Amino acid sequence: MNIYVLMKRTFDTEEKIVIEDGRIDEEGAEFIINPYDEYAIEEAIQLRDEHGGEITVVTIGGEDAEKQLRTALAMGADKSVLINVEDDVEESDQFTTVKILEAFFEDKEYDMILAGNVAIDQASGQIGPRLAESLDIPCVTTITNLEVDGDKAKIERDVEGDVEKIEVSTPVLVTCQQGLNEPRYPSLPGIMKAKKKPLEELELDDLDLDEDDVEPKTKTIDVFLPPEKEAGKILEGEIDDQVNELVGLLRNEAKVI
């Protein structure tokens, strides 16, 4: 089985985030594999272990993303590809990413492409479905269970607190949701072995693309942090007065009643 995983290096949203000049300051930020992509990597490993085959993890980014690729290899992926756009792409959006991936997959054979349901940084959730559309293959999002039998896949997906069961033919692109599996930690021997696994580096040129082909279709106007939580208000005085004041505040200040 030929399995591909789309992986994104993201900053850790549990760490402190600083914005400078309309961009997230990368200096102090911690970077991780997008957690939803970890589900995709884990699922790929389980599929490969059950059905045989090979896992290739693909990412778009700069040299720094090598670390996350090495982690994926240490978890158990077989090969990795870094599409290095550091020098070629200044601004990007989902169009850019899909266009690059589309070119990458043009000459590839695949049975299964797994991606995270969403990336925790920009949270568009668009890459998987848009790539599937470009490649003209079926796509199932937010999956919580996956069984492959020959050229069919039985999938369960999360739909607003309910489960939808789907049968689909391969090749298929799926996006992975929490609950699908518990991603493993890379083992220490796995980390040492990962050094010898292939890490291929490509640039736009190698995919017959130039900067204009991948120019974003959207423009980011502003990036800002959520407003800081203000201290709560403690009402004082007689209960009746407090209730009156509270109703007044809810009506006039919070405007919720």
User: What residues make contact with other proteins under the rule CB under 8 A?
Assistant: 67, 70-71, 74, 184-192, 195
Q: How far is the CB of 54 from other proteins (least distance, A)?
A: 22
The residue among 191 and 199 lying less far from other proteins, judged by its C-beta, is: 191
* Residues facing 143 on adjacent strands: 157, 176
Distances in Å between the alpha carbon of 2 and those of 68, 107, 132, 240, 256?
21, 13, 16, 70, 54
The residue among 160 and 182 lying less far from other proteins, judged by its C-beta, is: 182
3-state secondary structure of 17: coil
Q: How far is the CB of 185 from other proteins (least distance, A)?
A: 5
* 257/253 Cα distance (integer angstroms): 10
* Residues facing 60 on adjacent strands: 83
The residue among 68 and 97 lying less far from other proteins, judged by its C-beta, is: 68
Q: How far is the CB of 88 from other proteins (least distance, A)?
A: 27
Cβ-contact 56, 79 below 8 angstroms: yes
The residue among 74 and 81 lying less far from other proteins, judged by its C-beta, is: 74
The residue among 50 and 206 lying less far from other proteins, judged by its C-beta, is: 50
The residue among 31 and 95 lying less far from other proteins, judged by its C-beta, is: 31
Q: How far is the CB of 29 from other proteins (least distance, A)?
A: 15
Q: How far is the CB of 133 from other proteins (least distance, A)?
A: 36
Crossing angle, helix 35-51 and helix 66-75, to 10 degrees? 40
Q: How far is the CB of 158 from other proteins (least distance, A)?
A: 24
The residue among 48 and 70 lying less far from other proteins, judged by its C-beta, is: 70
Q: How far is the CB of 215 from other proteins (least distance, A)?
A: 36
